[in-house]
Amino acid sequence: MAATKGEKLLEVSGLSMDFGGLRAIDNIGFELFAGEIVALIGPNGAGKTTVFNCITGIYEPTMGDVTIHPPGGTCRRINGMKPNSITSLGMARTFQNIRLFPAMTVLENVMIGRHCRTGSTIIDAILSSRRSRREEKETVDKSYRLLQKVGLADVADEFSRNLSYGAQRRLEIARALATDPFLLLLDEPAAGMNPQETHELDELIVRIRAEEQVAILLIEHDMKLVMNISDRIYVMEYGKEIAQGTPREIKENPKVIEAYLGEEVHA
């Protein structure tokens, strides 16, 4: 799945989403290239999570196009596709309000991510066929390796509900990576983390980009993290896109400063 740097992966244009009379996002357009970390920022309620939900098929957008160009694959318009189909095409996400499987172990949580990359049927499982055994082993090995990567290997057999907040967020990242994505969408991965954890997350994200060869689309309120690791930033307010550019450009953009009342951006 390795993409050559600079290749376009995702293109969103004219994206709008209405909830009844409320236009939560309005004519949003952006694109994302291989190897990039792109941040989507904006005040609370700006519509960032809604953008994610539209891209990943949780919502069907009211208007606009979402097109993906999987590396080595053909380009496809994915509006209205089911979330699981979109995931198997190579986009995986984490959730702002952590959504793990609490009564399953940490390892099993990651193993679910392998579901769309394996194909053993119920019959395979009952007969413990060769295919099923091979896939099980691969699934366990790959999942465990991802746990090592995010630093959760020593709690692999714990129930995921017993993990700390920060650990749960890292587990979500590992689970998303298990689906072999070319694009990883992180919704506020640092929310609820202490400065130390945030700092480690910062390194983790950069490391994941390099080692797993994924591009990353990031929603985050922690400006230090965003400014540190993003290549480009899009800013939203009240559902509209108000600015885009490199971290430096964004920091100096008067509209952005106004949207944030001039406080956090200088952090």
Partner 1 sequence: MAHFKRSLGIGLWFMFLTLPLMVVRVNTISREVEWRWYNLAWAGLCAFVIAWFWQFSIERRTARRAQVAANPHPAVEKLSLVQRLADDPVLSRRLLAVAAVVAIIFPWLVSTGQNFYHVNVMVSALIFVVLGLGLNITVGLAGLLDLGYIAFFAVGAYTYALLSKNFDLGFWTCLPLGGLMSMLFGVILGFPILRLRGDYLAIVTLGFASITKIVLENWDTLFGGAAGIANIPRPEFFGMALDSRQKSVYTYYIVLALVAVTIFVTNRLKNSRAGRAWMALREDEIASVAMGVDMARTKLSAYALGAFWAGLVGVVFAAHNNFINPDSFTFMDSAMILAMVVLGGMGSILGVIIAALALKLLPEYLRAFAEYRMLVFGAVMVLMMIFRPQGLINNMRRKYEYDTAQGGKDNGGN
Ligand X SMILES: Nc1ncnc2c1ncn2[C@@H]1O[C@H](COP(=O)(O)OP(=O)(O)OP(=O)(O)O)[C@@H](O)[C@H]1O
**Binding stretches for partner 1 (CB under 8 A):** 56, 58, 82-84, 87-88, 92-93, 95, 99-105, 107-108, 111-118, 120-122, 124-126, 128, 132, 135-136, 139-141, 144-145, 148-149, 153-159, 162-164, 175-176, 178-179
Smaller CB separation from Mg ion, 96 or 105 = 96
Residue 96 in contact with Mg ion, rule: CB under 5 A: yes
Helix H or strand E segment including 93: strand 91-93
Output the six-digit token pair for 39. Answer: 């941040």
Smaller CB separation from partner 1, 158 or 231 = 158
Between CA 45 and CA 72 the distance in angstroms is 36
Smaller CB separation from partner 1, 164 or 246 = 164
**Residue entry with tokens 């108000």:** 242
Smaller CB separation from ligand X, 33 or 234 = 234
Residue 49 in contact with Mg ion, rule: CB under 5 A: yes
Smaller CB separation from partner 1, 196 or 254 = 196
Q: Residue 228: name its binding partner from partner 1, ligand X, Mg ion, none (Cβ under 5 to 8 Å by kind).
A: none
Minimum distance between the CB of residue 96 and Mg ion, rounded to whole angstroms? 5
DSSP three-state, residue 52: helix
Q: Residue 191: name its binding partner from ligand X, Mg ion, partner 1, none (Cβ under 5 to 8 Å by kind).
A: none
DSSP three-state, residue 17: strand
Q: Which residue is nearest to ligand X (CB)?
A: 49
Residues in Cβ contact with 161 at an 8 Å cutoff, skipping those fewer than 6 apart: 100, 102, 103
Residues in Cβ contact with 81 at an 8 Å cutoff, skipping those fewer than 6 apart: 57
Between CA 5 and CA 1 the distance in angstroms is 12
Q: What is the DSSP letter of 2?
A: P
Confirm if 197 and 222 have CB atoms less than 8 A apart: no
Question: What angle (nearest 5°) sits at the alpha carbon of residue 116, between those of residues 136 and 124?
Answer: 45
Minimum distance between the CB of residue 59 and ligand X, rounded to whole angstroms? 7
Question: What angle (nearest 5°) sits at the alpha carbon of residue 233, between those of residues 84 and 49?
Answer: 40
Out of 4, 5, 19, 73, which residue is the one contacting ligand X (CB under 6 A)? 19
Residues in region 37-56 near ligand X by CB under 6 A: 42, 44-50
Q: Residue 47: name its binding partner from ligand X, Mg ion, partner 1, none (Cβ under 5 to 8 Å by kind).
A: ligand X
Residue 50 in contact with Mg ion, rule: CB under 5 A: no
Closest alpha carbon to 47 in 14, 89, 18? 18
Smaller CB separation from partner 1, 92 or 214 = 92
Q: Which residues sit at the interface with ligand X, rule CB under 6 A?
A: 19, 22, 24, 42, 44-50, 96
